Amino acid sequence: MWWCLKICYLKRNEQALLKTSDGQKLILGPGLILLDSKIEMLKRYATGLKNGEYAKVIDENTGACRIEKGPQRLWLSATERIFQKFKAIQLKHHESIEVYNHETGTTRVEKGKKEFMLCASEQVLNDKKAIGKLKAGMAKLNKRLSLKGYHDVVKSKMIVIMYGYLNFRFLILL
């Protein structure tokens, strides 16, 4: 009787997800694995999170969502996947953001000089940083078009652009 074995070496930043008839098993590297040919293996890598970064992780079985903050090497369980990686929001002393929490239904304002990371059930509603930048851009454009009749037209177009920018920013942070 002949047996066919697969040999796999895992480095220190790798993990093997083994799919068998009994279910799934996760093995972290480093190490050497000897597998029966009937076992399916998927090799995954650890996700590096730097200082000031965080990731939204979703469990595909339960739908539960959690946040992992850096710096760290992030190892996922057999049923988890990274939804998205984010950079922390840097607020200056005169800036603020409005944050909505889906679970509690409450909103709060974060202000002042700080590095801010959203929780799993939060999203940014009102970004004062973006509004400040767009108001400065509108002032420059109004200065360039100093003709009297164009002032109101430019102002109304900048409001539409500002509204569109905030919605775009809102979609990115979901």
Instruction: Give the CATH number of the domain where residue 71 resides.
Output: 2.30.30.570
What was the pLDDT predicted at 53?
A: 93
Q: How far is CA 27 from CA 17, 58, 77, 169, in A?
A: 7, 20, 10, 39
Q: Are residues 76 and 29 in the same domain?
A: no
Domain count, the chain: 3
Q: Are residues 82 and 36 in the same domain?
A: no
| β-pair partners for 31 | 10
3-state SS assignment for residue 52: coil
What was the pLDDT predicted at 51?
A: 92
Lookup: tokens for 72: 């760290």
Q: In which domain, by residue range, is 102 found?
A: 90-174
CB 13 within 8 A of CB 36: no
Q: Are residues 109 and 169 in the same domain?
A: yes
Q: What DSSP assignment string belongs to 105-169?
A: --EEEEESSEEE---TTEEEEEEHHHHHHHHHHHHHHHHH---GGGHHHHHHHHHHHHHHHHHHH
Q: Are residues 38 and 79 in the same domain?
A: no
What was the pLDDT predicted at 50?
A: 93
Model's pTM, two decimal places? 0.59
Residue 151: other Cβ atoms inside 10 A: 13
CA proximity to 126, closest of 101, 94, 97, 93: 97
For helices 128-144 and 151-172, angle between their N-to-C axes, nearest 10 degrees: 150
**Mean pLDDT by groups of 10 residues along the chain of 174 residues:** 77 88 86 85 90 91 90 90 89 85 88 86 72 55 50 41 38 32
